[in-house]
A and B are shown apart, each in its own frame.
Chain A
Amino acid sequence: MVILKLAYRNLRGAGIRTWLNIFVLSIAFLAIIYLKGMYNGMQDQSIRISENTDKGSGQYWCEVYDPYDPLSLPDAHDEIPAVFDPFRESGVMTPVMLYQGAIYPENRMKNVMLRGVDHEQTVMNVPTHELNVEADGYIPVMIGQRMARSINAEEGDIFTMQWRDGNGAYDARDAKVVHVMVTDNLTIDVGNVWLDLSLLQDITRLDNYATMMVVDKSYSGELPESSWTYHSLVELTADIREMTEMKSKGGSIFYGVLMALALLAVFDTQVLSIWRRRKEMGTLMALGMTRLTLIKLFTLEGSMYGIFAAILATIYGAPLLYLNNMKGLTMPMDVDSFGMVLPQTLYPEYSLSLILGTIIVVLITVTITSYIPVRKLAQLKPTDALRGKMS
């Protein structure tokens, strides 16, 4: 307790030097928590968006479908197994059919994925009800805002759509954009043209066919056995997690550098402190303080930088992080360039484990950094110290 008080007094006595160290360390604290919180939030939001608009709580894929194998896509559809019928009827699952085609907006060809979805479905948070309209004899289709931008189309526009039906015959008809949806999920937007499933089945002559069954995210009951393979949400969003992890590792370089700078300041302070307080150390030893206690005192002084930095970071950082958490961070550029499902506004997630974990890691690092220059005190002779000598 005595050395605690002593350490505190010494720190206060150091004045501006102490506060500078504490301030730099507090910035490192905040930066680490902020960045980690952003990555956590980014991952959670990406997964949530995917879950809501595309993946559900999982998907059954027909045997041939493999989204990573373009060669499989032309045949990636099969008759929907009867075992799914009760789940379809109760709204727990909805079929989705992916079919390759091409559109000709302004007479330019663009390969697209025709995405057939039941317009009455409620499994995915996508405005498919917009497809339930009469489009003056045209095929009513819906596209995302990115797709609309890339083909320079808007609601009411008409373009020719071409595909090969289930038998391989070319077919083409004019389609009308009945709705442009706004979605954060670029995978269901870019290169996709949405139309009603029954219509897609009709024009491709593939009645009751689909590529996958999407399971409602709120469904937690037993799932049926089927010839179609089930893929859980965890499996379906593994790429998002990997991507976030990769970006997080990249970010760790930044706060690693920041921490290194802060720790260097602590280290320098300790070295300087030992040098300037030689006589004080000799006096303390002459008065009966052991070398070990002396080492503890100086190490504690160093560690207290970390503690005070945590307190300071809380004082000015907590409101900032709270504000950031409420308002989010609106990306200045198009988030599509990140190549993953991302909302335009990111909301960080600061968990207790994240904050406590960061505090513990920083405190341990600061303590070790403080201890390193203090080790030499183990060989310090009080007489030398009183004379101002360091052996």
Chain B
Amino acid sequence: MEIRDNKAIKFLSPSTPLGMTFPHRKGLTMRVLMTGIATLAMLAMPSNSIAQDWPDGLAVMKRIDRNMVAENQVVESTMIVHGRRSSRTITSRGYMVSDEKSFSEYLSPPREKGTKMLKLDDKLWIYSPSTNRIIQIAGHMLRQSVMGSDLSYEDFTEAAELEEAYKCTVIAEDTLDGRPTYVVELIGKRDDLAYAKRKVWVDSDRWVALKEERYARSGKLLKTTEITEVFKVQGRWYPKHMIFKDVLKKGKGTEFIIDSIKFNQDIPEHLFTKAALRK
């Protein structure tokens, strides 16, 4: 699929099992430093002389977009939430159109079955069949964890227009699980971005993000995403298995597995209404 110039880059935005667009994550310069003296020598060199062999950060991001961007997506996925004592597995089906609209429904376990979530722009509603009520998630509730996972509702409302919002620069090369990667640093161009800085490890062969790190304005690492498995679907490389982790919290993180994904489907418009939540 061709990248439309007027569309924001979404290469870091694979579809989560919840059917929400979720910007991807990071990698750390630690990996670069692991290369030892050679890397130190590199760091000592003027940055432009290092960067000259690396592609433009924006171009790297656009290459990923070719894999990730579609008119719409229908995703079936599994989320494994690792608790202190046990783990929970939640499956869901999600429909999403660009970054603005998405609708998802939990399919299992029985306790969560029928719970639905609707995102329209930056607003989020959740429907619980046990109470037969629709509630808007706002305020403090946005910081609450989704089904006990490492993701908050706030993460789902975040826009993923990274290309416009961030200055993208390739700052290093690295190897992740044997895959060659470019480390792209994203520095916010505006003050109103959720994360002032991100780092993304991009597979330089398949053009898919393998790791992302998100940082607070103070520079503190907040969240990481690791993609441990990718698969090819309809000619695109797409993340198959992801691990989301809130670095400030204890735990093993939350796993996402894309069971199936279909691009450019015929999704009825009425699905993206509050009325659809009760159906």
Contact = CB atoms under 8 A, between A and B. Distances in A.
B140 A109 contact: no
B130 interface: no
Contacts of B145: 109
Interface string B23-34: 000000000000
Given A100-B139, A111-B143, A169 B191 contact: yes
A172 B216 contact: yes
Contact of A167 (B144, B191, B222, B250): B191
A169 B250 contact: no
Contacts of B216: 162, 169-173
A73 interface: yes
B193 A162 contact: no
Given A107-B249, A108-B250, A170 B194 contact: yes
Nearest to B138: A71
B140 A111 contact: yes
A169 B222 contact: no
Nearest to A76: B139
B192 A168 contact: yes
B98 interface: no
Nearest to B215: A170
B140 A73 contact: yes
A168 B193 contact: yes
Given A71-B136, A109-B248, A169 B195 contact: yes
Nearest to A171: B217
**Interface residue tally on B, bucketed by range:** 20 to 34
Contact of A169 (B138, B143, B192, B220): B192
B141 interface: yes
A102 B191 CA distance: 21
Contacts of B139: 70-74, 100
A169 B217 CA distance: 7
Given A100-B140, A169-B217, A107 B195 contact: no
A111 B218 CA distance: 20
Given A70-B138, A109-B248, A160-B248, A172 B194 contact: no
A170 B195 contact: yes
> Which residue among B138, B139, B145, B192 has the maximum number of chain A CB atoms within 10 Å of its CB?
B139
B90 to A, nearest CB: 20
> Which residue among A70, A73, A108, A162 has the maximum number of chain B CB atoms within 10 Å of its CB?
A162
Nearest to B248: A104
Nearest to B145: A109
A165 interface: yes
Interface in B142-156: 143-145
Contact of B143 (A102, A160, A172, A173): A102
Contacts of B191: 165, 167, 169, 205
B196 interface: yes
A164 B139 CA distance: 12
Contacts of A72: 139
* Consensus secondary structure, chain A interface: mixed
A227 to B, nearest CB: 23
Given A70-B138, A74-B139, A169 B196 contact: yes
B203 interface: no
A162 B216 CA distance: 9
Contacts of A171: 196, 216-218
A381 B259 CA distance: 101
A160 B141 CA distance: 20
A160 B220 contact: yes
Contacts of A106: 250
Interface in B208-222: 214, 216-218, 220, 222
A109 B222 CA distance: 12
A70 B222 contact: no
A303 B196 CA distance: 82
Nearest to B196: A169
B246 interface: yes
Contacts of A108: 249-250
Nearest to B158: A168
Contacts of B253: none
Contact of B192 (A74, A162, A167, A173): A167
A173 B192 CA distance: 19
Interface in A105-133: 106-109, 111
A168 B194 contact: yes
Contact of B222 (A74, A107, A172, A205): A172
Interface in B242-257: 246, 248-250
Contacts of A162: 216, 222, 248
A100 B220 CA distance: 19
A111 to B, nearest CB: 5
A209 B74 CA distance: 44
A167 B196 CA distance: 11
A114 to B, nearest CB: 12
A75 to B, nearest CB: 9
Contacts of A160: 220, 248
> Which residue among B190, B192, B193, B216 has the maximum number of chain A CB atoms within 10 Å of its CB?
B216
Nearest to A102: B143
Nearest to A173: B218
B178 to A, nearest CB: 31
A236 B266 CA distance: 55
30 contacts: A70-B139, A70-B140, A71-B136, A71-B138, A74-B139, A100-B139, A102-B143, A104-B248, A106-B250, A108-B249, A109-B143, A109-B248, A160-B220, A162-B248, A165-B217, A167-B192, A168-B192, A168-B193, A168-B194, A169-B191, A169-B192, A169-B193, A170-B195, A170-B214, A170-B216, A171-B218, A172-B222, A173-B216, A173-B220, A205-B191
5 closest Cβ pairs, A-B complex: A107-B250, A70-B139, A172-B216, A167-B191, A171-B217
Given A70-B141, A169-B188, A173-B218, 6 more contacts: A70-B138, A108-B250, A109-B145, A165-B217, A169-B191, A170-B222
